[in-house]
């Protein structure tokens, strides 16, 4: 099953790590950048995890910043989307 992961917080990082550790076929990661004032920022760890496992990575502050519906439908083509 082709899985797309969307997230960027500590909880998101942990969920992505668990998906990969359990053998999920993660075919894309959309990392959500947190606000500058956030104490615990996880964009870099999420990016590093995706890169380490050679998973295509997209980064954004908001899903509205780009037409992600088109990217998801035409490029990533997931069977399942996990949002954390």
Predicted pLDDT at 38: 60
Tokens found for residue 7: 């997230």
pLDDT at 76 over 90: yes
pLDDT tens digit string along 22-31? 999 999 999 8
**pTM greater than 0.85:** yes
H-type alpha helices, the chain = 10-21, 43-52, 68-70
- Comparison of pLDDT for 12 and 19, the residue scoring more: 19
Q: Write out pLDDT tens, residues 23-73.
A: 999 999 998 876 666 666 667 789 999 999 999 999 887 777 777 888 898
The 10 Å Cβ neighbour count of residue 44 is: 10
């Amino acid at each position: 099953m082709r899985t797309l992961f969307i997230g960027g917080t500590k909880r998101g990082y942990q969920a992505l790590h668990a998906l990969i550790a359990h053998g999920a076929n993660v075919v894309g990661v959309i990392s959500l950048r947190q606000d500058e004032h956030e104490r615990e920022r996880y964009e870099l760890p999420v990016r590093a995890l995706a890169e380490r496992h050679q998973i295509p990575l997209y980064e954004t502050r908001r899903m509205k910043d780009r037409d992600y519906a088109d990217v998801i439908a035409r490029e990533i083509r997931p069977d399942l989307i996990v949002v954390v």
